[in-house]
Amino acid sequence: MAVSADDWTDDPQAVDSFITRAKAVLDDNWTGRFTVPSPSLYPHQWSWDAGFVVLAYARYAQERAEQELAHLFAGQWKNGMIPQIVFNPDAPDTYFPGPDYWDAGRSPHAPDGVRTTGIIQPPVHATAVWHYQHFARDKERAVRFVERVYPLLAAWHHFLRRDRCSRRGLIHILHPWESGQDNSPIWDTVRKRTDVPEAFVKTAEAHRGDYIHKKTRPTRKDYSFYLYLVELFRAVDYDPKRMREVSPFVIQDVLFNTLYCRSLLDLGHLAHLIGEDPLPWWDEAHVTQVRMNEKLWNEHHGMYFDHDLTTNRRIKAEVAAGFTPLYAGIPRAAQAARMVRSLDSPKFYQVDERSWGVPSYDRESRKFSKSRYWRGPVWININWILCHGLRHYGYYDYAEHVRHAILKLPYENGFWEYFDPETGEGLGSDHFSWTAALALELILQPEYAQQVTEG
Ligand code: 9WN
């Protein structure tokens, strides 16, 4: 079945009002220096959320895109690390764990005068900067900005290569929060085999009230695991080598490595733009592609699986992120065809069926939950990554089917953090920035084309 581009609405005025509403979400969440992911739950700046909002600002708010990135880079560590969260000193003390719990300043690498966490999130920043300069109206200014941030992006990628990878392998992550998919079923086996001291269960319990919508969030056990890992890292002053040694969680994650690979390709393009050598970045991207195909691909399931470095075993959790390598051109054409067959099935998102986008987890698994965070609900960022990946391989009809979901979900139900794949009901926090931003990214493409024609 071919789904036409405007199936989600055939009313042009409705499209205009949708754009206005999406931009209003970003305006409301804009603090004057950066964009909070949502006003109710997340009052600070998150690393990959910042990258996603820049993809939208790139298309209509050049200066704001620069400010967003500059604020994130102000929190960059001296060893190049871009932290998961840059804390906002003016925010109410509602988010736990906050800056005092992390106490990241104990690391000699922490930035001066800015408080952050001591872990990372997926690297989408070079990709964001590439979009920024590509769509910028003031091109000269954009090139000057790229010249300014290129060394910072390079330092970030050097950090990943130096401190998050052994020899020329894949990048490993050390905490579920680093993947961006906090309570994904991928982490279940690691969490279950880790003895978390009772004190962390108590701390997690004490803060349960901080987490709204308990049934749609990670459990107390998940949170105690997250806090325990933070404690292990804090005890070694966030020293990258020691973190690797003490962590029971050392995973080569598909989504993280996919975005790393895409980021390297985009960093190469940025290098080329300002007269630097792109080849080392593209070489690195190539090595990552080869390694992912060697180590993470599973022909039987038609998708990629994470690898647990502690046990040296694949983690066979069928999550939507297992299809994201399409976005970085990682699978060969035959693999991509196999992946689309797995995606276009009752497990995920069948083309001729009434559901609401690609769920984060296999709908036929007994552990699937249609409402609990990264264990089933539809997330707009994963769908957006898949939509672009499918286009890249020429699966335009299926990509349109995914695009349709990305637009229709917030159009009909609001700009929620995640969505029930069966009913489309919005879950988590309302007024969520990347839901608005990525819908805008898809919808503003024709508008951009028009501006270019108008000259
Ligand atoms: C921990 C901000 C972040 C996203 C993550 C999402 C959620 C945080 C939390 O919110 O995680 O980082 O407290 O649950 O899982 O992807 O970046 O939107």
Mutate to test the pocket of ligand 1, among 25, 38, 46 (most ligand atoms within 8 A of CB): 46
DSSP letters, 406-445, are HHHHHHHH-S-SEE-TTT--EES-SS-HHHHHHHHHHHHH
Q: What is the pLDDT of residue 273?
A: 98
Q: What is the pLDDT of residue 449?
A: 41
DSSP letters, 207-257, are TGGGSSSGGGS--HHHHHHHHHHHHHHHHTTT-HHHHHHH-S--EE-HHHH
Catalytic residue among 182, 284, 308, 318: 182
Q: How far apart are CA 190 and CA 218, in angstroms?
A: 15
Cα-Cα-Cα-Cα dihedral sign, residues 437, 440, 445, 447: negative
Q: What is the pLDDT of residue 340?
A: 98
- Atom number of ligand 1 nearest to Cα 41: 13
- Atom number of ligand 1 nearest to Cα 95: 13
User: What is the percentage of the chain residues whose pLDDT exceeds 90?
Assistant: 88
Q: What is the pLDDT of residue 1?
A: 36
- Atom number of ligand 1 nearest to Cα 218: 14
CA of 272 relative to ligand 1 center, distance in Å = 33
- Atom number of ligand 1 nearest to Cα 217: 14
Catalytic residue among 49, 178, 318, 417: 417
Residue 423 near residue 357, CB atoms below 8 Å: no
> Which own/partner pairs from 335-343 qualify as long-range (CB within 8 Å, at least 24 positions apart)?
335/293, 335/297, 335/299, 335/302, 336/393, 336/395, 338/299, 338/302, 339/302, 339/303, 340/390, 340/393, 340/395, 340/398, 341/302, 342/301, 342/302, 342/303, 343/386, 343/398
Average pLDDT of span 346-361: 90
Q: What is the pLDDT of residue 321?
A: 98
Q: What is the pLDDT of residue 205?
A: 82
Q: Whose CA is nearest to atom 16 of ligand 1?
A: 180
- Whether 180 is in the pocket of ligand 1, judged by its Cβ within 6 Å, is yes
Q: What is the pLDDT of residue 12?
A: 85
Q: What is the pLDDT of residues 97-125, one digit of tens each?
A: 999 999 999 999 999 999 999 999 999 99
Mutate to test the pocket of ligand 1, among 38, 177, 360 (most ligand atoms within 8 A of CB): 177
- Give me the half-sphere count of Cα atoms (radius 13 Å) on the Cβ side of residue 187: 26
- Give me the half-sphere count of Cα atoms (radius 13 Å) on the Cβ side of residue 200: 19
- Whether 177 is in the pocket of ligand 1, judged by its Cβ within 6 Å, is yes
Q: How far apart are CA 337 and CA 302, in angstroms?
A: 9
Q: What is the pLDDT of residue 10?
A: 76
CA of 211 relative to ligand 1 center, distance in Å = 12
Q: What is the pLDDT of residue 210?
A: 55
Q: How far apart are CA 261 and CA 149, in angstroms?
A: 19
Does 417 qualify as catalytic in the annotation? yes
pLDDT grade, residue 342 (50/70/90)? very high
Q: What is the pLDDT of residue 208?
A: 64
Q: What is the pLDDT of residues 183-237, one digit of tens each?
A: 999 999 999 999 999 999 888 888 866 555 788 999 989 999 999 999 999 999 9
C-alpha distances (whole Å) from 273 to each of 58, 155, 287, 299, 340 are 17, 18, 23, 38, 34
Q: Whose CA is nearest to atom 14 of ligand 1?
A: 182
Torsion angles phi and psi, residue 308, rounded to 5: -90, 115
Torsion angles phi and psi, residue 275, rounded to 5: 80, 15
Q: At residue 353, does pLDDT exceed 90?
A: no
Residue 83 near residue 10, CB atoms below 8 Å: no
Q: Whose CA is nearest to atom 18 of ligand 1?
A: 37
Cα-Cα-Cα-Cα dihedral sign, residues 112, 115, 120, 125: negative
Please report which residue ranges of 136-219 form alpha helices under DSSP H. Answer: 139-163, 176-179, 188-193, 198-206
Residue 341 near residue 388, CB atoms below 8 Å: no
CA of 235 relative to ligand 1 center, distance in Å = 23
Q: What is the pLDDT of residues 13-37, one digit of tens each?
A: 899 999 999 999 999 999 999 999 9
Q: In b/e form, how buried is each residue of 131-163, taking b as 16+ CB within 10 angstroms?
A: bbbebbeeeeebeebbeebbebbbbbbebbeeb
Q: At residue 5, does pLDDT exceed 80?
A: no
Q: At residue 442, does pLDDT exceed 60?
A: yes
Average pLDDT of span 334-343: 98
DSSP state of 326: G
pTM over 0.75: yes
Q: What is the pLDDT of residue 7?
A: 67
- Whether 48 is in the pocket of ligand 1, judged by its Cβ within 6 Å, is yes
- CB atoms under 10 Å from CB of 120, counted, come to 26
Q: What is the pLDDT of residue 453?
A: 37
Q: How far apart are CA 330 and CA 379, in angstroms?
A: 22
Average pLDDT of span 174-179: 98
Q: What is the pLDDT of residue 254?
A: 98
Q: What is the pLDDT of residue 8?
A: 77
CA of 389 relative to ligand 1 center, distance in Å = 23
Contacts of 443 (CB under 8 A, 6+ apart): 15, 18, 19, 22, 407
442 is written with which tokens?
Answer: 């898809």
- Whether 416 is in the pocket of ligand 1, judged by its Cβ within 6 Å, is no
Does 112 qualify as catalytic in the annotation? no
| Interhelix angle 139-163/279-295, nearest 10 degrees | 50
DSSP letters, 356-371, are -S-BSB-TTSTT--SS
Q: Whose CA is nearest to atom 6 of ligand 1?
A: 180
Residue 274 near residue 145, CB atoms below 8 Å: no
CA of 353 relative to ligand 1 center, distance in Å = 30
CA of 293 relative to ligand 1 center, distance in Å = 28
CA of 180 relative to ligand 1 center, distance in Å = 6
Average pLDDT, the chain: 94
Average pLDDT of span 71-97: 96
CA of 13 relative to ligand 1 center, distance in Å = 34
Residue 222 near residue 351, CB atoms below 8 Å: no
